[in-house]
Structures are given as structure tokens and as C-alpha cells.
Structure 1
Amino acid sequence: MGRILVVGASAAGLAAAEALRREGYDGTITLVGDEPHVPYDRPPLSKQILATRWEPERLALRTPGDLGALDLDLRLGATATGLDLAGRTVLLADGPPVPYDGLIVATGVRPRRLPGEGAHVLRTLGDALALRERLGPGRRLVVVGAGFLGAEAAAVARGLGAEVTLLEPAPVPLAHAVGEEVGRVLSEAHLVSGVDLRTGVTVSEVTDEGVRLADGELVEADEVLVAVGSLPNTEWLEGSGLTLGDGVVCDEYCEAARNVYAAGDVARWYNPLFGTSMRIEHRTNAAEQGMAAARNLLNPEARKPFAPVPYFWSDQYDMKIQAFGYLRGHDEVAVVEGDLAERRFVVAYRTGDRLTGALAVGMPPKAIRPWRQAIAASAPWREAVKTSTGAENKEVGRG
């Protein structure tokens, strides 16, 4: 395999390139990225960058020396526009087609938007810098969407002295992901911090004065941040022959077609540990999947299924939130340590008869690490929860 092309120069793409070199691949690696920046870390955008605690140079995932050592054909500011599977080439918006023998698609996602103009989104370094310039004491910010990204931005904006209104269509923010009781606990942190949290409301459009709700009410704001989810960047692959469905559809090896793999936020693959197809938009998964895709592409005779226990974290106010597993679609949530009212706890999630997830708030990492091991071992639910710190488990909700 003389030439491997990686499309997407963020965490997943960089991890794939590094894994290829670690595995001994000495052919040409072309890394294509549509942003002009060298690969950088995205989670700090809604935290340290937005809060002005970091400047952009701290985001770089690798030093110039580290990147140079990879001996990459690095194409930054280059947008992929098409894939010719038969001809094994990728088309770019500018420049000649790029040939490949092996391809890894790692083009990530983009923010969903709402009708109207003038709203901020938060995906790139430019997005974060543009928003932070507009925040400060007394500035009015409306955040549409109380998921993890919107919640983090709301928390940071409050810390900068802005007046924040957080709008969420669901009755309980994040209930679909973490359960209603945990969602209420996380919501309470916004209320006690002075955020005007409004649930069960739908935004119809962004206006010059703020946002217009479906019932006609105008919520005034100086700035609007739309954080209502994302869309996988697969348009450039339409008509290519790859199967697309809320991402690039892959098997358990992350393979989408012969010698074509996908990794990171754009990949929808079958995770045999949970017996379901999933697309994960978390930083840790992006790096792990990039490495797995690269190894499987390079060594097809020794391929291994990519069966991780997903991990994510979030910082909001004084809360450190950590979670392992696949929480969506759970049937039951139980407190296994701590107290929800104190916002210091660990909860476990049941799907069917097995443990499938665990989430900790305000707890040290050692409190949740054993749960990752139990999830990876497909532990039966009753066996997993009966041994938790000797305390009686309290069921807090069913899906």
C-alpha cells in the first residue's frame, strides 16, 4: 500500500496518521484538512478558550517538531468535494484529485443551524474566538440548546458576567442521554448560578433582536449561540457508493468499503460490545477510533473489532461530569454512590439485564473507573450494582 489518504485533520485524522507510522508504515500519508490550522483540540473551545483562560496556541495537538517527524503530505485549507471509489481518488475544491491506495474518512461534523442570521455556533477556533469577543459583564446571551455544549457555554458566559438565557425544547435537559433525574440535577446548577433556564420552548428563528419562539415571543439578546446538535460531514461522499446514514456506515472494523475506513464523529459503526450501531461525538472516541481504523487498514489479516467503552466528560460551574458506556436508550438508572441533592454522586445505567453505563458528578476519577471495567466485561446488572460501596442502591428512574 503505497499511499494512504486521511481526509480530516482533527483528532481522529491525526491519531490515524500517527498510528500508521507507529505500525511501521513508511509510504506516503496525505492528511487533508479544510481548516487552515494544524490539528488542534476542540473540547477546550467551549471551556478554556471561551473563558479566556487559554490562548489559541495552547490548542495544538502536536508540536511542529512532532508533526514534522510524521513526514506527512499535509494539505491544510483544502476541502474534499468528492470520492471516486473505482478510481481511488478524492476530489478537492482546489487542486488536482488526490490518489490513494487506502483511505480513512475523518471529516467530523458541523453544527446544526436555525433559520435567520447572526447566530454564533461553536465548532471551530474561529467560532470560539468570535463569541468570546462579544461576552462580558452585562452582555445578554441567549443559548439555544441545553445539551452539554450549550450548558458548558452558558456556564462560561455566566462566569464572564454575562446575563444568560438558556432555551431547551425538552421538558428536562439531557434527559434523553442521562435520564430525567440526573438531567434535573444538572439543570439545577444553572438555576442557582443565575441562568434563566426555560424548558419546553421551541425557537423558530434568530432575529436581529434575539430569538423568536414558536409562540411568537421575542427573547431579546445581544448575542445568540445555537447549540442544537450537529450533522456529519458526508455530503462530499454522496454518490460515491459508500453507505451513508447519519454518518459513514461501517462494520465492526470501521470499514466502509474495501480499503476505505472511517473514524471519529463522522463514523457510524457497529460496536459489538453493546450490540448496536452508534456514532459517538466525543474526543476520546475520535482518537481511539482513528488508531483502530489505521491498524485495521494496514493489517487486514489481523483486524480487530473496534469495541470501546465510550467516555466523555464535561465541566460546568464547579461540576466535573464523567461518563462511561452507552447511556442512550437505557431502561433504568440507579444511584450507586453519593447523593443527587448534593450534586456529588455516581449513577449506573441498565439496558436489558446488563450494565451499560455509569456517570459521575463531583467525584474523583477513581470513583468511576471500576465501572468502566464492569461495562467492558458486560457485567450483569444485579451483580454490578449489588457491590457498590456497601450502600443501598436507590433506583431513580426508568427509561
Structure 2
Amino acid sequence: MKPTLVIIGASYAGTQLAASAREYGFDGRIVLLGEEPDAPYQRPPLSKSFLTGQFAEARLPLRSPAFFDEERVEWRPSTRVTRIDRDRREVVLHDGTSLRYDHLALTTGARVRTLAIEGAFYLRDLADARRLAEASRTARSVVVIGGGYIGLEVAASLRQSGAEVTVVEAESRVLARVASEPLSTFVLEAHTAQGVQFRLNRKVAALHARAGHIDTIELDDGARLSCDLVVVGIGVVPNVELAQSCGLRMASTPGGGVAVDAYARTSDPAIVAAGDCASFVPHGSATDATDASALRIESVQNANDMAKTAAATIVGRLEPYRAVPWFWSDQYDLKLQMAGLNTGWTHYALRGSLEARKFSLFYFRGDALLAVDSVNRPQEHMLARKLLAGDLHPTQQQVSDDAFDLKGWIAQATTRPSA
């Protein structure tokens, strides 16, 4: 009898895992379980062009309907898994039925972190985006709680739609968790120039409603902000309850997640995990997957690339996850693209011009290049990914010089014979 692969979670990681399993030669049954009624879809546009009406819902699906037939993937929408029975190798569904598996993949993603605020809007899935898009059509004054990428993307989209927007951020700067201070400052000034107001180092103290709708937010300094729409974007929480309840090992790092090794394997050899729910130790680390070096990366790139690693593991091809993390964000006319992880950087080099709004920031720790943030320099972003993937390290002085031929240097470095 051919083996059965059950995938729990039908977004980027789950869909990619099914596709890659077929590509790598898995010839058994594949069942893709998704809690949402909609076919797997793109999520980045939801906080950007979908809100402004420039990205039609018909363009959102990740795969055409024919994909599921051609690749023999049984996609089951509106299906929730209530329990994993590892001894019997079964998953129990919300309707009481069960599915037996030979291989199980957890691609359960993450959910929004919430506040005790009734009447606020969140943005994680398509249903959220539909509700927010509808409400924003008549909104004149909006308060966005949270100055991370989602909050700022929503702020930019609603400001472009004509609303007055105020962003409330508990930290002293926007993007405090994910970006350097130079990039944070640039992004803040870009939003301010568009008319967005900011209240930094501030928290919500109270809400005031009229006729069942929030119309005023009171901050911890006593200030009151009038509004007719409140959007909360304060991060996400990985969906690990199924994994926890069946006894899989969890990562001990602050971001949590299901602990996996460099091959996407959990503590159960029959179960892999990928995407926002998984926390992994980069290949080459000698430490255990629950120590402080474990990472949980929230990005489309990570979901897709880790899913490919997991699929390879399922078919017996042990290929460690080595992908360079990269991210992007569109705000107004700014295309922000990030490559690598700048954690622990000691100094940086600026290439390009802040005033021209076209530049890159190269982050170093000692002589080692860790990451590159690019604004409106997409070609340089691609070069940065090549540098990081090839473990190539130009000097701070070299990249600071706009006349330095970075592309040519990479070509020479990659063709130079090793010692």
C-alpha cells in the first residue's frame, strides 16, 4: 500500500510542501487540510494593495484549481484537526472522523496577537482583510496600534485611501523588533511626510465607545485620539497547540514554535514542521534545537524554502535548510527588501542616498557581513542575497563606495579558485 502524507495547514508552507513532495517523487496519497474555506492564497497583498483596491481578490490564489487535480492533492477546506494520535498515527478531525498517516507535516502557521479591545480590527487572513477593506471605505480617522511592518503597511494603505492615520507604538521607535535604528528613522520620516502621526512610547489605557463603536482611544499619558476605525497589529503567536498536546518538543526560545532540526524533523521521526510554526537551528550549529540559537522566521520565503526541506526529508533526501532569509515590504513608493538577519551587528555601511530614497544598509559584525536592507534598490537586494548565500564578505569601505563594482566583485569572488 502506498504511504499517506497528511499536511495540517493550507497556506504557503503546506501548499509548497505538497507540490515539492510530488516534485521529489512522493507517489502516495497527499491530504492537505485547511481551516479556511478559501483556497490557499497570497497573504502579503492583504495589508497593501488589496486594502486600496488595486489588487483584485481573483488574483490571490497561490495555485490554480487544476494544480490539486494534476498533482493528486486532496485539499479539504474548512477542516480543523482536533488531535494528533502519534501512537496510532492518526489525526482526528472536528467532525469526529480520523485520517491515518505515514508522514505528517505541521504547517499550522500563526495567529494574530490580540488585545482586550472589542470592536478593533486585526489582519491575518482573507476574512480579516475583507472586513477591514469594507470598514475602511467609510473611515475618516484611523488609529493603528503597533508600529511593525503590518501596522505600517496598513497605515500607508489607509493613508493613501484618504484617511487620517495615527500610529500608536509602545516602543521608542517603529520597527524596533525587526529593523536597525537608521532604517526605523527613515521609515518614520517617510510616513510623517505623508501625514501619518505617531505616538511613540505610548500604550492604550482606555477605550471610549458611542453607539457600540469605538470613537476615542485614551493613551497612558492621558491623550485622547478620536477615531472611527481601530486596527491592531502587534505581532503573531505560533499555532503549536496540536504539537504540544501530542507531546512534540517545543523550542525554549522567546518566539516559541515546534522544535525542528536542520532537516525540518520534529522529535517524532514521522512528523516534520515548516513555516511560521517551526523553530529551527541553522545548519552547522552543534547545539540542540531548543537552545538560544533556534530561530522562528515569519516570512513567505522561509515558509516556502523550509517546506521544500521538509518534503525532501519525507522522500528520504536529507538536504539541510541553508536558505538565506529575505523579506520585503511595500509602503507608498518605497520598496523595502531585507536579506539576512542583522542580529548582533556592530557597524554598518551606507550605499546610495537617503535623500534620493534609494540606498542599502550593509550590517557587519567584525569583518563578517550579516545582512543588507535595501530601499528602492532591487538589483542590489539580489546581489546581497548572493553575497550572503555565498558567504562572501566585502569590506565596509568597499560597499560604502558607490563606484565599487559590487556585481563584478561577486563574479570574481565566486570564480576564484579556493586555496
Q: Normalising by structure 1, report the TM-score.
A: 0.92
Q: Does 1:255 align with 2:265?
A: yes
Q: Which amino acid aligns with 2:228?
A: D
Q: 2:215 aligns with which of 209, 213, 219?
A: 209
Is the 2:142–2:228 Cα contact (8 Å) retained in structure 1? yes
SS of 2:95's equivalent in the other structure is coil
Question: 1:267 matched to which residue of 2?
Answer: 278
SS of 1:134's equivalent in the other structure is helix
Question: 1:357 matched to which residue of 2?
Answer: 371
Q: Which amino acid aligns with 1:356?
A: L
Q: Which amino acid aligns with 2:238?
A: P
Shift in CA distance, 129/138, structure 1 to aligned 2, threshold 3 Å = closer
SS of 1:342's equivalent in the other structure is coil
Find the aligned partners of 1:180 and 1:369 in 2 and give their Cα distance.
23
Is the 2:42–2:62 Cα contact (8 Å) retained in structure 1? yes
Is the 1:81–1:91 Cα contact (8 Å) retained in structure 2? yes
Q: Which amino acid aligns with 1:158?
A: R
Q: Which amino acid aligns with 1:156?
A: S
SS of 2:301's equivalent in the other structure is helix
Q: Does 1:120 align with 2:134?
A: no
Q: 1:342 aligns with which of 336, 348, 356?
A: 356
Deviation at 1:330, TM superposition (A): 2.7
SS of 1:279's equivalent in the other structure is coil
Q: Does 1:376 align with 2:382?
A: no
Q: Which amino acid aligns with 1:311?
A: W
SS of 2:111's equivalent in the other structure is strand
SS of 2:46's equivalent in the other structure is helix
Find the aligned partners of 2:367 and 2:338 in 1 and give their Cα distance.
20
Q: Does 1:315 align with 2:330?
A: yes
Q: For 1:123-202, list aligned pairs within 5 A.
A: 123-136=124-137, 139-202=140-203
Q: 1:324 aligns with which of 339, 356, 364?
A: 339
Is the 2:367–2:395 Cα contact (8 Å) retained in structure 1? no
Question: 1:287 matched to which residue of 2?
Answer: 304
Deviation at 1:103, TM superposition (A): 0.9
Is the 1:114–1:205 Cα contact (8 Å) retained in structure 2? no
SS of 2:371's equivalent in the other structure is strand
SS of 2:53's equivalent in the other structure is coil
Deviation at 1:251, TM superposition (A): 0.8
Q: Does 1:219 align with 2:228?
A: no
Find the aligned partners of 2:397 and 2:92 in 1 and give their Cα distance.
56
Is the 1:115–1:206 Cα contact (8 Å) retained in structure 2? no
* CA deviation vs aligned residue, 1:117-154 (integer Å, no higher than 9, x gap): 11111111111111111224761111011111111110
Find the aligned partners of 1:143 and 1:109 in 2 and give their Cα distance.
21
Structure 2 segments unaligned to the other structure (5+ residues) = 209-213, 287-292, 405-419
Question: 2:4 matched to which residue of 1?
Answer: 3
Q: Which moved more, 1:145-154 or 1:325-334?
A: 325-334
Find the aligned partners of 1:384 and 1:164 in 2 and give their Cα distance.
41
Size of the aligned set, in residue pairs, is: 387
Is the 1:33–1:75 Cα contact (8 Å) retained in structure 2? yes
Q: Which moved more, 1:159-168 or 1:218-227?
A: 218-227
Structure 1 segments unaligned to the other structure (5+ residues) = 394-399
Q: Which moved more, 1:104-113 or 1:271-280?
A: 271-280
Question: 2:408 matched to which residue of 1?
Answer: none
Find the aligned partners of 1:13 and 1:58 in 2 and give their Cα distance.
19
Shift in CA distance, 353/13, structure 1 to aligned 2, threshold 3 Å = same
Find the aligned partners of 1:274 and 1:379 in 2 and give their Cα distance.
19
Find the aligned partners of 1:177 and 1:223 in 2 and give their Cα distance.
26
Find the aligned partners of 1:392 and 1:334 in 2 and give their Cα distance.
14
Find the aligned partners of 1:230 and 1:5 in 2 and give their Cα distance.
25
Find the aligned partners of 1:101 and 1:353 in 2 and give their Cα distance.
47
Q: Which amino acid aligns with 2:26?
A: Y
Find the aligned partners of 1:79 and 1:352 in 2 and give their Cα distance.
48
Question: 1:235 matched to which residue of 2?
Answer: 241
Deviation at 1:290, TM superposition (A): 1.1
Deviation at 1:205, TM superposition (A): 5.3
Shift in CA distance, 384/149, structure 1 to aligned 2, threshold 3 Å = same
Q: Which has the higher contact order (CA 8 A, sep 6+)?
A: 1
Question: 1:397 matched to which residue of 2?
Answer: none
Find the aligned partners of 1:328 and 1:388 in 2 and give their Cα distance.
20
Is the 2:361–2:372 Cα contact (8 Å) retained in structure 1? yes
Q: Which amino acid aligns with 1:370?
A: L
Question: 1:298 matched to which residue of 2?
Answer: 315
Shift in CA distance, 206/384, structure 1 to aligned 2, threshold 3 Å = farther
Shift in CA distance, 60/343, structure 1 to aligned 2, threshold 3 Å = same
Deviation at 1:356, TM superposition (A): 1.2
Find the aligned partners of 1:352 and 1:91 in 2 and give their Cα distance.
51
* CA deviation vs aligned residue, 1:43-77 (integer Å, no higher than 9, x gap): 11111211111222210111111222121222210
Is the 1:178–1:328 Cα contact (8 Å) retained in structure 2? no
Question: 1:42 matched to which residue of 2?
Answer: 43
Find the aligned partners of 2:402 and 2:361 in 1 and give their Cα distance.
13
